[in-house]
Amino acid sequence: MTGPTEQADKKIDEWMGLLLRAGVVLAATLVLTGGALYLVRHPAPLINYRVFQGEPPDFRTIHGIATEAKAFSARGLIQLGLLILIATPVARVAFSVFAFTYERDWKYVCFTLVVLGLLIYSLFGQT
Amino acid sequence: MNSLEFTSLIAAGSLLGGFLGALTGLGGGVVVVPMLTLIFHVDIHYAIGAALVSVIATSSGAAAAYVREGYSNIRVGMFLEIATTLGALTGAALVLHLHASVIAVIFGAVLIYSAYASLHHSQHATQDLGPDKIATWLHMDSTYPAAGKLESYHVRGVPAGFALMFVAGVLSGLLGIGSGAVKVLAMDRAMKLPFKVSTTTSNFMIGVTAAAGAGIYLSRGYIDPGLAMPVMLGVLVGSLAGARVLAVAQARVLRILFATVIGALAIEMIYSGLAGKF
């Protein structure tokens, strides 16, 4: 590895750090807001966690979560925050595709695309 | 118990879990799952869903600080993420077919290994064995800052590291943990990466691995907002505080104490699993 690549690597690292931090801050803010609303609106527990029932489609599909969050539903906002949290590492990988393209490291562009494909499959492949 | 009491207790427990997880390098997930299942009697599927989300928060939060220091090797990380994400998808798919008791017993076994590894992790300098064909082809050899200058190192054992990373991914997707212990084992022992490089690169990869599992959990309905909210916020704040303390304090005594607690939780998980309490 020669000097210029190392420098480019370092710049990429810095951008990635920023991206990750922004994602976590945004996610935590949404979860906190939704959480406060949730406690105010639902003083009595909604769910018995001892028995697994699984979430309704409103809270497990991207479309359902977006609809709920737009309606300012407390649990919808929390789920949106969690969705953004899950999307943060995915965005980091997507960003790496561009970074490796910029460095013309085609081998790693391919590897990164494979990882990105697997992540997108996990988010969208089930529905 | 009303919502506020339940949420506060879970948040306090998660805060402590995140704090201890950061101090010992084991991560918050390994404390949160036993806490939720054994103490609050939460179904293990909800517990691993909430824990995995908190793992992403911790990893992304910490990685933001690590990357700037220039220790992590993004090429090694990205290549091995193929193995960990494949593993995480496999693990998350396995959750569907395994009985809760089986998951609990596997969790207990992994806990025991993690506790053992956290105590016996030697920081010895890994011997550089020179260039390796596969690693060279993959442009993996790099440098890291040591004693004021850049130290170069060679990566080895790529196939073994890749296989171990697949296992780490399966455990992450199956148990809702970061499985940092297995990731460090793969890079430290199999691939001969310097200690600092392997720990920071492992942390870097944990978020991507966890995201692969969490995507599946979310669409299967394992992630409940009412439960994940206090767990995610608690672990995040706790781990940030733990990382601060770690920077200034010697954590040897805490490490031993925590490993003992983890060992006890592990035995309880295995016992409860075998007794069919899940």
Q: Per-residue pLDDT tens for A18-77?
A: 888 899 999 999 999 999 999 999 888 888 888 888 888 888 888 899 999 989 999 999
Mean pLDDT to the nearest integer, B79-99: 94
Angstrom distances, CA of residue A2 to CA of A98, A100, B133, B140, B143: 20, 15, 18, 13, 11
Nearest to B48 by CA among A52, A80, A31: A52
Nearest to B49 by CA among B251, B246, B199, B221: B221
Could you give the ipTM of this predicted complex?
Answer: 0.89
Residue B53 to residue A90, Cβ atoms within 8 A: no
Report the residue from B40, B64, B226 with minimal CB separation from A20.
B64
Supply the DSSP symbol for B42. Answer: -
In this prediction, residue B67 carries a pLDDT of: 62
In this prediction, residue A5 carries a pLDDT of: 65
Does the beta carbon of A111 lie under 8 angstroms from any beta carbon of chain B? yes
Rounded Cα gap, residues B232 and B47, in angstroms: 12
Does the beta carbon of A108 lie under 8 angstroms from any beta carbon of chain B? yes
pLDDT at A119 over 80: yes
Mean pLDDT across chain B: 87
CA triplet B77, B79, B82: central angle to 5 degrees? 105
Supply the DSSP symbol for B67. Answer: H
| Confidence band for A2, pLDDT divided at 50, 70 and 90 | very low
Supply the DSSP symbol for B277. Answer: -
Would you tell me which residues 41-80 of chain A have a C-beta closer than 8 angstroms to some C-beta of chain B? 42-47, 49-52, 54-56, 59-61, 74-76, 78-79
- Shortest distance, CA A71 to any CA of chain B (angstroms): 16
Rounded Cα gap, residues B50 and B63, in angstroms: 20
Residue B2 to residue A44, Cβ atoms within 8 A: yes
Mean pLDDT to the nearest integer, A77-102: 93
Task: Calculate the CA dihedral of residues A91, A94, A99, A101 and round it to 10 degrees.
Answer: -170
Domain residue limits, chain B: 3-274
pLDDT at B116 over 50: yes
In this prediction, residue B199 carries a pLDDT of: 81
pLDDT at B167 over 60: yes
Rounded Cα gap, residues A45 and A53, in angstroms: 15
Residue B227: count of CB within 10 angstroms of its CB: 24
Q: What is the pLDDT of residues A72-85, one digit of tens each?
A: 999 999 999 999 99
- Shortest distance, CA A75 to any CA of chain B (angstroms): 6
Residue B60 to residue A23, Cβ atoms within 8 A: yes
| Confidence band for A1, pLDDT divided at 50, 70 and 90 | very low
pLDDT at B166 over 90: yes
- Looking at chain A, the whole-number percentage of residues with pLDDT higher than 90 is 50
Are B151 and B69 in contact by the 8 Å Cβ rule? The answer is no
Q: Which residues in chain B have Cβ-Cβ distances shorter than 8 Å to A43?
A: 2-4
Q: What is the pLDDT of residues B216-273, one digit of tens each?
A: 999 889 999 999 999 999 999 998 888 787 766 666 777 787 788 888 989 999 999 9
Chain B: residue nearest A88 by CA? B60
In this prediction, residue B267 carries a pLDDT of: 93
In this prediction, residue B250 carries a pLDDT of: 64
